[in-house]
Amino acid sequence: MRRVPAPEPIGTLPVNLPLPTAAKLAKPDLTAERPSRAEAEAAVRTLLLWAGDDPEREGLLDTPARVARAYEEFFSGYKEDPVALLARSFEETDGYDEMVVLRDIRLESHCEHHMVPIIGRVHVAYLPQERVVGISKLARVVEAYARRLQIQEKLTAQIANCIQETLQPRGVAVVIEAAHQCMTTRGVHKPGVTMMTSRMLGEFREDAGLRREFLALVKNGAPAPEA
């Protein structure tokens, strides 16, 4: 079984890994031929049979089509380019150079190991370097990466790396708090457990006081939704 690394404790200094290039941060290459909608629906019917039910009974007749449509929404992030979402920025800031913080962004993702929901919230901050970006774009970057099969550690890094590489700010901080249905509704069955991960780049990595200020700004948010 593949071992998943432990999440970074909040406020600690992560290992200084090189940032990926903008090309690696963009939407994934899906040039390989994808199955058709009909093939996807047939796969759902197979799963219904394997689960022990009858896909031809009235209540399940439309389930394969519904599941296919739901998957298009759940995993729409594969069609998004997070780098492009941050392409437009603004320089008229009158010299603003303090933190920009977006707190309590709703997170809805799916575990890549069991394909069950990950539900929580994301806190994002950056230190502008002469330019800022529309705050809705930060939320869209979160959504673009979240609407893919994920593990929380990778999701945290992808969001932070994308903002740092694209906007080139003085620093980026990302904290994710989430509940994973892969451990709350199956397996160990531990409801109420929240996983926390963080990624600090630039001045947030180097300045402990700045990290403390960011964490103080986000710690008083509402409790993370339970999965």
114 given a catalytic annotation: yes
Q: Looking at residue 58, what is its pLDDT?
A: 97
Q: Looking at residue 130, what is its pLDDT?
A: 85
130 given a catalytic annotation: no
* Residue of 111, 143, 150, 164 marked active site: 111
Q: Which residues of 145-156 are buried (b: 16+ CB within 10 A; e: fewer)?
A: bbbbbbbbbbbb
162 given a catalytic annotation: no
Q: Looking at residue 25, what is its pLDDT?
A: 66
Distance from CA of residue 227 to its chain's centroid?
Answer: 15
pTM of the full structure: 0.83
Residue 122's beta-bridge partner residues?
105, 176
Q: Looking at residue 33, what is its pLDDT?
A: 82
113 given a catalytic annotation: yes
Strands 171-180 and 149-150: unpaired
Q: Looking at residue 93, what is its pLDDT?
A: 87
Digit-by-digit pLDDT tens for the chain (227 residues) are 444 444 444 444 444 445 666 556 666 666 568 899 999 999 999 999 999 999 999 999 999 999 999 999 999 999 999 999 999 999 888 989 999 999 999 999 999 999 999 999 999 999 999 899 999 999 999 999 999 999 999 999 999 999 999 999 999 999 999 999 999 999 999 899 999 999 999 999 999 999 999 999 998 755 555 65
123 given a catalytic annotation: no
> 99 and 207 in contact (C-beta within 8 Å)?
no
* Residue of 114, 153, 203, 213 marked active site: 114
